């Protein structure tokens, strides 16, 4: 089931997250809790350190960029050392419980952000360590907002790392650890839960994690080949075409929106390239469980699934809103220009990818309030649960809609009538009040997050709609920008967006768990 329909007793889970006095008092975490957290955190950090050898080897052998390659050797050594030290000092055989796993996940994303930022900072293309951290958090959370300077002269090794971040983070940092570095059944499942996922494709969570890698790597190979050949056909040199293909696929399928060149997808000036990118963005925003059903030959699931139906419906509505806004201002006068500019940006927002075929300034200066509202709605609602997409998610939107219908029906029928509402997501299920409650709480959490960033933006002097647009883009892990995200923006706003991207990617629960843990440590007895 989706992240909105978890089986775990929700009250118990919240109690763990906030250290709510279920036992009438807050219990201070013990040394064994901290050791447990430290050990698993160390393993995850170790995993990230090992992945840095890929750009190191590619930089030395393929790209012939020794200095950038050395940036990765240095960063990998620092990261691996920290990972080894943590897992050695905190060595334990205990398995993680749900609360500990959530704290591990929340901390590991912060640790990965800081350590992955080292090679980017060493590249000299970032104004500060904060900017480099912003970039890595944006990449790993598959957001795609960028603070890189002079991207067009960035080395291929660093560019590869920028795009590898979304590929690793999109599948999930915990997925890396579960697949290769962590043992134990319940501990691994708790880690898996902590990243906002709880749909097991196959009964064993380790096999589920490995299957997610298999899907992603098969798609990566296919995507790189397709985009590589399209790239050659539009005039790119073969090596450049396949490098761009791999980068664009990783950031497209993982709904991140990074690109190796500053004009983003506009760089290619090609309808074919844009169509292929749209296809990968949409595929990437689908639930991994849906991918699994398709792999098993169950194609009917696409049409029956509540998420795909909701996605289709939402896309139709936001397209109408955006089209009305653009037509009113006569921004794009032809059907084709509307498709390549209006619809592309919309799908990019809906799938929370953030690829752009227009310049950021054009959103504010040309699109007008109504069309921007359409894009903001699409970014806020986002893609499917258990995918690489962000936002509130289609499963939750679908369940809220069904629950709303159920309540309306209940009001219209006799007071004694029992009204039930079903939905289909892999299997047909009845909607339960507990599920709806969880869905509404997470939805409210996202809306609060969007509001927080908007408030900070407005307080810093940005216009309301611009601030709302950028905040929704950050918290929904989208990456479309109306121009606020820039190296010159205030540090407070950079930190706010980092927090939004982090909390949005983890669907808030793990972040709450971390704060609960800190409170328990300080105030607990």
Partner 1 sequence: MKSLFFFATLCLTLGISNSYAQTSTSLDLLNNAKQYDGKTVNYKGEVIGDVMIRGDFAWLHVNDAIIAIGIWAPKAMVQDIRYAGNYHKKGDIIKVSGVFHRSCLEHGGDLDIHALGINRITSGSLVIQPLSRKKVYIGGCSLILVLLFYALKKLLQGR
> Where do contacts with partner 1 occur on this chain (CB under 8 A)?
65-68, 70-71, 73-74, 77-78, 80-81, 84-85, 88, 122, 152-156, 234-237, 240, 261-263, 266-269, 271, 331-334, 336-341, 357-359, 361-362, 365-366
For the bound state, the minimum distance from the C-beta of residue 90 to partner 1, rounded and expressed in Å, comes to: 13
Structure tokens at 58: 């590619």
Q: Which is nearer to partner 1, 286 or 462 (CB)?
A: 462
Q: Which is nearer to partner 1, 158 or 425 (CB)?
A: 158
For the bound state, the minimum distance from the C-beta of residue 332 to partner 1, rounded and expressed in Å, comes to: 5
Q: Which is nearer to partner 1, 74 or 447 (CB)?
A: 74
Q: Which is nearer to partner 1, 310 or 319 (CB)?
A: 319
Please provide the DSSP assignment of 408-465 as one string. Answer: HHHHHS-TT-----EEEESEEEE--HHHHHHHHHHHHHHHHHHHHHHHHHHHTT--HH
Q: Which is nearer to partner 1, 332 or 450 (CB)?
A: 332
For the bound state, the minimum distance from the C-beta of residue 159 to partner 1, rounded and expressed in Å, comes to: 9
Q: Which is nearer to partner 1, 154 or 499 (CB)?
A: 154
Residues with Cβ < 8 Å from 1, sequence gap 6 or more?
7, 198, 199, 425, 429
Q: Which is nearer to partner 1, 42 or 172 (CB)?
A: 42
C-alpha closest to that of 145 among 448, 482, 429: 482
For the bound state, the minimum distance from the C-beta of residue 351 to partner 1, rounded and expressed in Å, comes to: 20
What angle, 0 to 180 degrees and rounded to 10, lies between the N-to-C axes of helices 156-171 and 66-89? 40
For the bound state, the minimum distance from the C-beta of residue 328 to partner 1, rounded and expressed in Å, comes to: 15
Distances (CA, A) of 127 to 120, 142, 165, 491: 10, 22, 20, 12
Three-class DSSP category at 259:
coil
How many CA atoms are closer than 13 Å to the CA of 253, on its beta-carbon side?
Answer: 26
Determine contact, residues 284/389, Cβ cutoff 8 Å.
Answer: yes
Determine contact, residues 58/81, Cβ cutoff 8 Å.
Answer: no
What angle, 0 to 180 degrees and rounded to 10, lies between the N-to-C axes of helices 509-523 and 98-122? 110
Q: Which is nearer to partner 1, 118 or 175 (CB)?
A: 118
For the bound state, the minimum distance from the C-beta of residue 413 to partner 1, rounded and expressed in Å, comes to: 51
For the bound state, the minimum distance from the C-beta of residue 376 to partner 1, rounded and expressed in Å, comes to: 21
Determine contact, residues 429/422, Cβ cutoff 8 Å.
Answer: yes
- Which element (helix H / strand E) includes 496? helix 491-505
Q: Which is nearer to partner 1, 327 or 434 (CB)?
A: 327
**Three-state secondary structure along 82-99?**
HHHHHHHHCCCCCCCCHH
Angle, alpha carbons 430-435-438 (nearest 5°) = 165
For the bound state, the minimum distance from the C-beta of residue 257 to partner 1, rounded and expressed in Å, comes to: 17
For the bound state, the minimum distance from the C-beta of residue 365 to partner 1, rounded and expressed in Å, comes to: 7
Determine contact, residues 38/89, Cβ cutoff 8 Å.
Answer: yes
């Amino acid at each position: 089931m989706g992240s909105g329909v978890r089986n775990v007793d929700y009250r118990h889970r919240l109690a763990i997250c906030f250290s709510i006095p279920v036992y009438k008092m807050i219990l201070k975490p013990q040394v064994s809790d901290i050791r447990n957290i430290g050990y698993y955190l160390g393993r995850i950090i170790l995993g990230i350190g090992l992945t840095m050898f890929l750009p190191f080897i590619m930089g030395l052998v393929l790209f012939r960029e020794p200095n950038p390659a050395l940036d990765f050797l240095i960063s990998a050594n620092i990261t691996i050392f920290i990972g080894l030290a943590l897992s050695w000092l905190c060595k334990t055989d205990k398995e993680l419980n749900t609360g500990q796993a959530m704290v591990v996940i929340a901390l590991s994303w912060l640790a990965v952000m800081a350590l992955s930022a080292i090679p980017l900072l060493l590249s000299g293309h970032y104004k500060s360590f904060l900017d480099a951290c912003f970039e890595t958090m944006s990449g790993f959370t598959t957001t795609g907002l960028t603070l890189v300077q002079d991207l067009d002269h960035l080395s291929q090794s660093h560019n590869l790392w920028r795009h590898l971040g979304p590929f690793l983070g999109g599948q999930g940092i915990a997925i890396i650890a579960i697949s290769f570095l962590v043992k134990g059944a319940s501990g691994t499942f708790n880690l898996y839960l902590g990243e906002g996922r709880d749909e097991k494709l196959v009964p064993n969570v380790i096999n589920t994690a490995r299957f997610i890698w298999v899907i992603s790597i098969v798609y990566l190979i296919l995507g790189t080949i397709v985009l590589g050949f399209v790239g050659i056909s539009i005039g790119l040199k073969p090596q450049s075409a396949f490098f761009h293909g791999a980068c664009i696929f990783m950031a497209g399928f993982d709904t991140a929106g990074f690109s190796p060149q500053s004009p983003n997808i506009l760089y290619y000036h090609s309808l074919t390239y844009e169509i292929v990118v749209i296809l990968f963005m949409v595929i990437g925003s689908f639930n991994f469980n849906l991918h699994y059903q398709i792999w098993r030959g169950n194609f009917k699931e696409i049409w029956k699934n509540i998420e795909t139906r909701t996605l289709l419906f939402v896309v139709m509505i936001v397209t109408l809103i955006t089209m009305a806004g653009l037509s009113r201002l006569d921004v794009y006068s032809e059907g084709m220009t509307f498709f390549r500019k209006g619809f592309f940006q919309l799908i990019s927002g809906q799938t929370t990818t953030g690829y752009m075929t227009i310049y950021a300034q054009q959103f504010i200066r040309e699109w007008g309030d109504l069309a921007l509202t359409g894009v903001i709605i699409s970014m806020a609602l986002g893609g499917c649960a258990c995918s690489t997409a962000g936002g509130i998610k289609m499963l939750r939107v679908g369940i809220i809609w069904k629950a709303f219908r159920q309540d309306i029906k209940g009001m219209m029928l006799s007071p004694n009538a029992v009204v039930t509402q079903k939905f289909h997501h892999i299997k047909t299920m009845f909607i339960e009040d507990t599920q709806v409650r969880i869905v509404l709480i997470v939805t409210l959490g996202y809306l609060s997050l969007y509001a927080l960033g908007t408030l900070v933006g407005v307080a810093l002097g940005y216009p309301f709609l611009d601030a709302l647009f950028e905040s929704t883009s950050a918290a929904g892990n989208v990456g479309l920008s109306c121009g606020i995200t820039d190296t010159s923006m205030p540090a407070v706003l950079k930190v706010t967006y980092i927090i939004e991207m982090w909390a949005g990617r983890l669907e808030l629960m793990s972040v709450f768990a971390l704060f609960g843990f800190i409170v328990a440590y300080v105030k607990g007895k």
